[in-house]
Chain A
Amino acid sequence: MTYNAAQKHIIHQSLRKTPTPMRLPELEAILADINRIILGKERPIYLSLACLLARGHLLIEDLPGVGKTTLAHVLSRVLGLDFQRIQFTSDMLPADILGVSIFDRDSGAFHFHPGPIFSQMVLADEINRATPKAQSALLEAMEERQVTAEGATRALPEPFFVIATQNPTHQIGTFPLPESQLDRFMLKIELGYPDPAAERELLAGADRHQMVANLAPRITPQQLIELQGKARAVYASPALIDYVQSLAAHTRTEARWQAGLSPRAGLALLAVARAWALLDGRSHVLPEDVQAVLPGVIAHRLRPADDSVRTEVGAVAAALIEAVPLP
């Protein structure tokens, strides 16, 4: 019995479309709203919400037009967050992201004009089209949750959530992000094409732009911060901590990857698993939660030793899961 075969036998409890009785009502409502607009993408939606609850940033790699921007829009609407989109281009400068000081003739002083980064939800579109200089300006702001420009440090709003999208790196005109910067994204997901039924429904349904515009916030930013606190408080038993540790340790001894998972990756895995458990209405983490989020956590972190072979993220995660017994 392999992991994937076992997954076919059971649909993970978290991914059932029917309401989960133990789930918090506000989360239930949020998920229902999103799933109504983005069809047939329960798992990526779930993961992106878990990433947000775990106070992490999200990287989406996919082809144009599969709904990356829509997902970001929907999330910001239902969560009541103000939203900014930055389209990354190759001639972009850090100031275009962070903001600039402009001399104000009336007051006789420089006045700081905040850039688009000063927003609760930022969609950094096609991040790998920008030069490394612009990329690093964004990524440093993400990590520090503050911006230092012209000697003054300015805090970014709370909550602060970046969704970056990137085109598949083999496309021309891209600057691939280095591993150290990829590690700052808690999760990387792919949306993929919708399945036939969902696509038919999409084609037949109402205009998505209109639907997004009509969405009402389900929670306030303050409530979101509280939910993030709840996610952090989800209990991880010693047995589960051991499991996360052995997963990370296994990637370090195995020769099939260039480098093992970093301790930051281990922390990310645990944090997202906690948020996943919260989404599932539990106050404790299960190995199933860890396994469910594992593909998103390792997708951009584990590079196969043999770069020439492109392996499916799901297959890599399944192999890792099957290699590490539960403690």
Chain B
Amino acid sequence: MARSNRPVSRRQAWWLLATALVASLPLTPELPLWLSLAAGITFSWRAALTWRQWHLPPRWLLVLLVIAGTVGVILQYRTTLGRTPGVALLVVFLALKLLELRAARDVVVTALLCYFLVFGQFLFTQTIPTALLAALTVLITTAALLAASDDRPPPQQLLARAGLMLAQALPFMLLLFVLFPRVQGPLWGIPQDRFSAVSGLSDSMSPGSIAQLSQSDAIVFRVKFTGEVPPQSQLYWRGPVMPSFDGRTWRVTQTMGTYRDIPYAGVGAAVDYEVTLEPHGKRWLFALELPATLPPDSALTNDYQPVARQPVRNRMRYTQRAWPRAIAGVNEPSSVLRSALALPRDGNPRTRAVSASWRAQYGDDDAAILAAAENWFNQQLLIYTLNPPLLGSDIVDEFLFDTKRGFCEHFAASFVFALRAAGVPARVVAGYQGGEVNPVDGYLVVRQYDAHAWTEVWIAGRGWVRIDPTAISAPSRINLNLAAAVPAGETLPFLARSDLTWLRELRYRLDAITNGWNQRVLGYNPQRQRDLLADLGLNEPDWRSMTAVLSVLCGAVMLGLTGWILRNRLRVDPALAAWRRFTARLAKRGIAWQPWEGPLAFAERAARQTPIHAEDIRAIAALYVRLRYEPAPQASDLAQFRVKIARFKP
């Protein structure tokens, strides 16, 4: 019977069931519930078939089920194209293929399907646990493939053999990873439907929108500073700027890509750093105020926010330079200033009255009005809290005069409103403030709960001046962190809390590992590859030289592995090797030595068949017996044996 037609044994069926389970279980969160349930039922069916040794379902039923599954996927997604529908279809086919295990060929097909599903996992996440799980799946699938050819060894032996095979493949994997010419962009760049639910800054700000973010400890970006990390109070990561106000909500009105070059001059020392930005689905590229360089493929808006050409859908890395003390916007166009003064026609009368009093007192001196405003805010004894009371229609008045409790968006919004009411151009800037240095790898990690809003005020001759009204009332938010600023007892995200030091330590380490994975493995792009190859002495490699190096190294590894495998074979007894030469020569004459045949028995048989060589054959066999089966054979015996065989020409 041909090998591929052998029936599938029970052990093979169990192996495949295990493989299919590990391959499809990690996908359940991505699949619709009905599909996971259906797959689960099919797997149980398969287990029952194997356990009870029932007959396989008839072919017409399988065809019906395949059609039903495909129609189900199409109804669910309206298409069979794309990531999730594709993976869902694969799961359908895998589950049903298990019910069709008739011959060894089906085992191989099923195992290959499982390999495919491992790719499916990577389309959804690329974290270290995913990679470990994928490695486990590959191991089990390989063991199942081994069982397809011989299912007798116990599972641990098959797994060990599969592990050995994968270990032999590992050097090639590493070589290909490091040296295969990279393409720009991530390997897993398919996701389009990924960021619908990612929380983060939005392009509008109303009371409560940033406070909401304070409950999330998701990482926004990581920063590696070339030099010292600047003090916490200077870490203002500029995000969307919001000049437009409708009485409740502040909005972005910026014109994208106004400046392709930096429109202001730097003052004082620059800060260099590298940002690794997590995908967030918007075009914003966060930069330390104020950006002195632009990341590739990006431009500056007319309010100095760097934006990329495409939404950030994959983790990206860019180097940046910042001028913390740049003077920007001295010659700001009047349209920008006009929008920085716009207010709704009415509302918040009490604040407007206070602002009017400043204008009356200081006349045209905007700087003096600013000072007065800061002073007045300080005297209002405002309280910084994550749980401000709900506000009615006049949000600025109610916050400043009645509730006096608010989060950073209340402070920034009220401050800008007050200044605009006094006729001083001002605007709200959203972004992130601060961050936390991971002592393990030195990266500064900025999380969603670092989201912040502050203000910029335009003073003639000085341009835009950053004023953080939160810092006036709650300086510890800026100098330390969120946990230090909010009153005790308010709920904070787990990671923002400052107690539980051991947990903190653990988190630092885990985060450093994750970051290392992101930077070195997932973020291994053409640039990194060039740098690494330059370090290895391969300057400015093009794809040709890289391919050449790759081929040479792969060849070297292949040789090494082959040598390692052959070492056992080369250790064959020299007498046996010579005996094989001898029998091969006789085999050409039609006298084939059977591998189980004793040497004397064979010699006797051969001698009868070619009587002219009988003497030689008997002598050679006697020497072979001397070498292999008698005690203490001498080296001279071996030499004589070899000579006799060399001279033996039947």
Contact = CB atoms under 8 A, between A and B. Distances in A.
Interface string A202-235: 0000000000000000000000000000000001
B596 interface: yes
Given A235-B630, A235-B631, A239-B573, A287 B598 contact: yes
Contact of A10 (B573, B608, B628, B631): B608
B605 A325 contact: no
Interface in A288-327: 288, 291, 321-326
Given A1-B594, A324-B596, A6 B630 contact: no
A81 to B, nearest CB: 32
B490 interface: no
B630 A322 contact: no
A326 B595 contact: yes
A322 B594 CA distance: 8
Interface residues of A, number: 25
B592 interface: yes
A7 to B, nearest CB: 8
A7 B392 CA distance: 108
Contacts of B629: 235, 237, 239-240, 284-287
B630 A237 contact: yes
Interface in A1-51: 1, 3, 6, 9-10, 12-13
A286 B600 contact: yes
Contacts of B628: 237, 239
A327 B22 CA distance: 41
B152 interface: yes
Contact of B595 (A239, A253, A325): A325
Contact of B605 (A6, A237, A253, A287): A6
A286 B596 contact: no
A109 B592 CA distance: 74
B540 interface: no
B592 A288 contact: no
Interface string B600-625: 11001100100000000000000001
B599 interface: yes
B604 A10 contact: yes
Contacts of A9: 604-605, 608
A286 B598 contact: yes
B626 to A, nearest CB: 9
A326 B630 contact: no
Contact of B598 (A237, A253, A288): A288
B596 A13 contact: no
Nearest to B631: A235
Interface residues of B, number: 19
Given A239-B573, A240-B629, A284-B631, A6 B592 contact: no
A270 B601 CA distance: 19
Contacts of B592: 1
Contacts of A322: 594, 596
A13 B599 CA distance: 13
A10 B601 contact: yes
B625 A286 contact: yes
A286 B628 CA distance: 9
Contacts of B625: 284, 286
B637 to A, nearest CB: 13
Contacts of A288: 598, 600-601
Contacts of A239: 573, 628-629
B600 A13 contact: yes
Nearest to B601: A288
A185 to B, nearest CB: 26
B573 A321 contact: no
B542 interface: no
Contact of B597 (A12, A240, A283, A326): A326
Nearest to A3: B596
Interface string B514-540: 000000000000000000000000000
B555 to A, nearest CB: 34
A284 B152 CA distance: 36
A291 B598 contact: yes
Contacts of B630: 235, 237, 283-284
Nearest to B603: A10
Contacts of B631: 235, 237, 283-284
Contacts of A286: 598-600, 625, 629
Contacts of B599: 286-287
Nearest to A10: B604
Nearest to B607: A10
A12 B629 CA distance: 18
Nearest to A1: B594
B589 to A, nearest CB: 14
A285 B596 CA distance: 15
A325 B631 CA distance: 22
Nearest to A277: B629
Nearest to B592: A1
Contacts of A240: 629
A321 B601 CA distance: 13
Nearest to A287: B598
Interface string B570-601: 00010000000000000000001011111111
Counting chain A CB atoms within 10 Å of each CB, the highest count among B573, B629, B630 belongs to B629
Nearest to B575: A239
B152 A253 contact: yes
Contacts of A287: 596, 598-599, 629
Contacts of B596: 3, 287, 291, 321-326
A10 B595 contact: no
B109 to A, nearest CB: 26
Interface string B32-46: 000000000000000
Nearest to A235: B631
Contacts of A323: 596
A181 B605 CA distance: 39
A278 to B, nearest CB: 14
Given A240-B629, A253-B152, A6 B594 contact: yes
Nearest to B152: A253
B494 to A, nearest CB: 55
Contacts of A283: 630-631
Nearest to A321: B596
A323 B596 CA distance: 8
B601 A6 contact: yes
Counting chain B CB atoms within 10 Å of each CB, the highest count among A321, A323, A324, A326 belongs to A326
B604 A326 contact: no
Nearest to A9: B605
Nearest to A237: B629
A311 B592 CA distance: 28
A323 B594 CA distance: 10
A122 to B, nearest CB: 35
A222 B178 CA distance: 78
Contacts of A284: 625, 629-631
16 contacts: A1-B592, A3-B596, A6-B601, A6-B605, A12-B601, A13-B600, A237-B629, A237-B630, A239-B573, A239-B629, A240-B629, A286-B599, A286-B625, A288-B600, A291-B596, A325-B595
Interface of A: 1, 3, 6, 9-10, 12-13, 235, 237, 239-240, 253, 283-288, 291, 321-326
Given A239-B628, A284-B630, A291-B596, 4 more contacts: A9-B608, A10-B601, A237-B628, A325-B595
Interface of B: 152, 573, 592, 594-601, 604-605, 608, 625, 628-631
The 8 closest A-B pairs by CB, nearest first: A325-B595, A288-B598, A287-B598, A10-B604, A235-B631, A237-B629, A284-B630, A9-B605
